[in-house]
Amino acid sequence: MRLFEFVSFCLISSAFCQTSNILDVAKQLGATTLLELVNDAGITDVLTVGDPLTLFAPSNEAFSNLPASVLAELRNDKQLLADVLKYHVLNGKVFSTMLADELVVPTLLDGSISRVNIYQQGQVVTYNGCQITTSDQNATNGVVHLISKVELPPNGTVVDAAKRDAKLSTLWKAIVAAGLMNILAGPVPRPLTLFAPTDDAFNALPPGTLDALLNDKSALIDLLTYHAVNGTYYSVGLTSGTYSTVEGKSVTIAVDTSGITVNDAKVTTADVPGTNGVLHVIDKVLTLPSSFRFQ
């Protein structure tokens, strides 16, 4: 085909002659805040020049749903902004058919991995817990998937996340006392969902219970592993039902318009990311079924 023929062919049938790069495609999908932030971060070239890329493009709503303080921090810290945006990009073309549950993939942010989850027989597919709402939009230099939330890169495992949170200090102390770092944080962590009771929740246990637990390693292990569900369940992936813990016991999760409960505990903060899964803060210590001594 000669050039002028090719050009007229493209004019007639633009679908066959993709001329939009991944940023153009994101823009066509309405992700204008993302474009503005890519520009502010100075990474337009990174996303438009070079090898093919896969962009998980947060919608405008996704950015406006971020806490105002987080958005302000991103806007004020160019390096942090660039890091967070690169965390949404993979090398190569990754189409939705190539995604799998608990798939872990390196991102453009050095040393950082992302996690894909597939829930509810494929009805809900997430990238770092952010639901993919439009997938497989081809671009000249890659492919774009639109997502409905922005997730910041995890800083360590779910146990590290517990350690950093001042209101989870009892849980952290208990994990260390139980020697559970290997199960809950590595060296080869299996993906899990940690339901993390607050200090207030531990303090609400009957008098003496907490001290007794901290002095009884096997009871503590039983109790803490009961708070770790097998597999990464971001809130968007949870539906009402029973879920297996890492030790094969089961917890009952209920999801409705008022929120998420686990047995009789309420999730008060959802979706704290970790490299080995996700943490949800709960307002009560879960009570183990039968055999457990401290109920």
CB of 288 to ligand NAG, least distance (A): 16
Q: Is there binding between residue 28 and ligand NAG (CB under 6 A)?
A: no
Helix ranges, 29-167 (H): 32-41, 44-48, 60-64, 68-76, 78-86, 158-164
169 belongs to the binding site for ligand NAG (CB under 6 A): no
CB 138, min distance to ligand NAG, A: 4
Q: What CA–CA distance (Å, rounded) separates 175 from 163?
A: 10
User: Which residue from 91, 138, 140, 169 is in contact with ligand NAG, where contact means CB under 6 A?
Assistant: 138
DSSP state of 110: T
Among 78, 164, 217, 293, interactor with ligand NAG by CB under 6 A = 164
155 binds ligand NAG (CB under 6 A): yes
Question: Whose Cβ is closer to ligand NAG: residue 138's or residue 148's?
Answer: 138
Residues 153, 88: Cα–Cα separation, whole Å: 9
CB of 18 to ligand NAG, least distance (A): 7
- Which range, of 103-111, 121-129, 195-203, 243-251, touches ligand NAG by CB under 6 A? 243-251
Q: Which one among 58, 129, 142, 231 touches ligand NAG, defined by CB under 6 A?
A: 231
Please report, in angstroms and rounded to a whole number, the separation of the first and last CA atoms in the chain.
Answer: 78
* Tokens 């993302």, located at residue: 34
Amino acid identity, position 76: N
- Looking at 166, 248, 256, 291, which residue binds ligand NAG (CB under 6 A)? 248
Starting at the earlier edge strand, list the strands of the sheet with 277-282: 228-230, 192-197, 277-282, 265-274, 259-262, 250-256, 241-244
- CB-nearer residue toward ligand NAG: 39 or 155: 155
d(CA 119, CA 236): 9
Applying CB under 6 A, the residues found at the interface with ligand NAG are 138, 155, 160, 164, 230-231, 244, 246, 248
